Amino acid sequence: MHAFILLSFIFADDKWYSTEDNSLPLTSITTAQGVDPNLGSWNETQLNFDLNRSGTHSKVVASIRQWSSVSAITFHLNTGEHVLTNSKPLDTNHVSTVFPSFLIEQTSSQDQRGFFTFEGRSIGLI
C-alpha cells in the first residue's frame, strides 16, 4: 500500500511553522468554483490554516484546483496579507513556503525515490 500525507510549511520570523507539529494548524476545509477566461471552469478544495506569529494571526489558504476542460490540477498558496519576514535569508537549496509536500512511503530497502519530476524536469528533493 502506498500512503502519502499532505504537509505544509512556512518559514517566517526565522522559524518554521508546520502542519506536522501543529504550529500551522488546519482550521477548516472549504470548496469553491470558478471560471478562468483561458482555461475554463474549475473546482477547488481550500485548506485554511491559522498562522500565529507572536499574536498576529494570518489566514493562510492552500488550494488544490481541478480543471474541467483540461486533465490537470494546480496548487496555489496564499500566505495572507502580512509579509513573511526573516533576518536570516535562506540559501538556494531552501524555500520559504512548502505546499504541496508529500511524504511517500518507502516500499522496500531498495526504494530510492527522492526526486519529483514534471514533464521530465527535476524540481527538487522530496
pLDDT single digits (tens) 42-91 = 999 999 999 988 888 889 999 999 999 888 889 888 888 877 777 777 76
Q: Which letter does DSSP use for residue 50 in this model?
A: E
pTM surpassing 0.75?
no
Do the beta carbons of residue 102 and residue 126 sit within 8 Å?
yes
**What is the bridge-based pairing of β-strands 56-67 and 40-53?**
antiparallel
Banded pLDDT at 119 (limits 50, 70, 90): low
Q: What is the pLDDT of residue 117?
A: 55
Q: Look up residue 87 and give its DSSP letter.
A: S
